[in-house]
A = this chain, B = another copy of it.
Amino acid sequence: MNWKHKHLLDIESLTAAEITTVHDTARAFRAVGDRAIKKVPALRGKTVINLFVEPSTRTRISFELAAQRLTADVINFSAEASSLKKGETLKDTARNLEALNADIIIIRHSATGAPHFLSRFLNSSVINAGDGAHEHPTQALLDTFTIRERKGRIAGLNVTILGDILYSRVARSNIWALLKLGAHVTLCGPPTLVPKVFEQMGCRVVYDVNAAIEGADIINLLRIQHERQRKAMFPSLGEYASLFGLNRQRLARAKPDVLIMHPGPINRGVEIDSDVADCSRSVILEQVTNGLAVRMAVLFLVNGGKGPQEVGV
């Protein structure tokens, strides 16, 4: 299936075949990271701009390194001390960046739909690096890529997503990707953070953590964002940990070859116990490595690449 999109805005509008094309392309690029010279000339002379209106060191660095390994030129534009602070509209900021002959603009923004908005008037390719509580498509692509590389398939697997679903763009993108690829998705967390409405998407919603973990092939933990979480959503971090934190005892209910995933940064002792985070079933750091490969793939594809057959590394 040849890729044919100019932008990567969300998972919702992708087909299963397109997601698979990203995975296959990422596999080709992952090999680059293991080589002595970790570079390919695929995007030589192209300009990539990281437009991070909402700060994120982790995702920004992953995209920056991905662009560097494709030999692109990268510029980091952060909202602080920028023209956005002087009252410039996002549209004007984006059009100014495009006027610098930007080939690809990667945007993270606190407003849902910001990347879609840009894509309607820019000639540059737009990549969504997280928009509000809406979507974070490269995270879902790297999560499903990690599952596929480890399990050989996604269809038919039991995937449990545990934590703050309501405010999580990671959860939303993962749900879309997993359902399109044929997984059974179970959501679990405090009722305030996991509304029943997610059943309409095709997920199972469960409030008993033991039931949620029972028979799971994959447990994907979401970060409890205690630094910005509305306090009213659950009583305390300690209570969250005791009711929903993943520990050895709860993990025993999952399948023996379960994979434990987390988009990071992890809160040890809150959503995950330290010995679980560091155990052999944890693929959390593998997700980071795969994230780089997936972002190389996405940059390559939106820039006109068709698929893995063109990587030629």
The answer to whether the Cβ of A46 comes within 8 Å of any Cβ in the partner chain is yes
The digit string for A81-98, where 1 denotes a CB below 8 A from any CB of B, is 111001111001101101
Please tell me which stretch of A17-25, A65-73, A160-168, A200-208 contacts chain B, meaning at least 4 of its Cβ atoms lie within 8 angstroms of it.
A65-73
Tallying the copies of this chain within the complex gives 3
Measured between alpha carbons, how far is A285 from B37 in the docked complex, in Å?
34
The answer to whether the Cβ of A196 comes within 8 Å of any Cβ in the partner chain is no
B57 A77 Cβ-Cβ under 8 A:
yes
A100 B62 Cβ-Cβ under 8 A:
yes
Measured between alpha carbons, how far is A236 from B162 in the docked complex, in Å?
53
Residues of B contacting A289 with CB < 8 Å? 99-101
B87 A34 Cβ-Cβ under 8 A:
no
A27-43, CB < 8 A from B: 33-39
**Looking at A39, A45, A64, A68, which has the most chain B CB atoms within 10 Å of its CB?**
A45
A99 B268 Cβ-Cβ under 8 A:
no
The answer to whether the Cβ of A267 comes within 8 Å of any Cβ in the partner chain is yes
Q: Are A38 and B33 also in contact (CB < 8 A) when A65-B100, A75-B61, A227-B86 are?
A: no
Nearest residue (CB) in B for A35 is B45
A260-293, CB < 8 A from B: 264-268, 285-286, 288-289, 292
Measured between alpha carbons, how far is A36 from B42 in the docked complex, in Å?
11
A92 B265 Cβ-Cβ under 8 A:
yes
Given B33, B62, B101, B286, which contacts A33 in the complex, CB threshold below 8 Å? B101
B44 A37 Cβ-Cβ under 8 A:
yes
Residues of B contacting A286 with CB < 8 Å? 99
The answer to whether the Cβ of A58 comes within 8 Å of any Cβ in the partner chain is yes
B227 A89 Cβ-Cβ under 8 A:
no
The answer to whether the Cβ of A256 comes within 8 Å of any Cβ in the partner chain is no
**Looking at A73, A268, A292, which has the most chain B CB atoms within 10 Å of its CB?**
A73
Can you identify 26 A-B contacts, CB atoms within 8 angstroms?
A35-B45, A36-B45, A37-B46, A47-B65, A57-B77, A57-B81, A57-B82, A58-B82, A61-B75, A61-B77, A61-B100, A65-B73, A65-B75, A68-B75, A86-B227, A87-B226, A87-B267, A88-B264, A89-B268, A92-B268, A96-B264, A96-B265, A96-B288, A99-B285, A99-B289, A101-B289
For the complex of A and B, the 5 pairs showing the least CB-CB separation, nearest first, are A37-B45, A99-B288, A88-B265, A83-B265, A57-B82
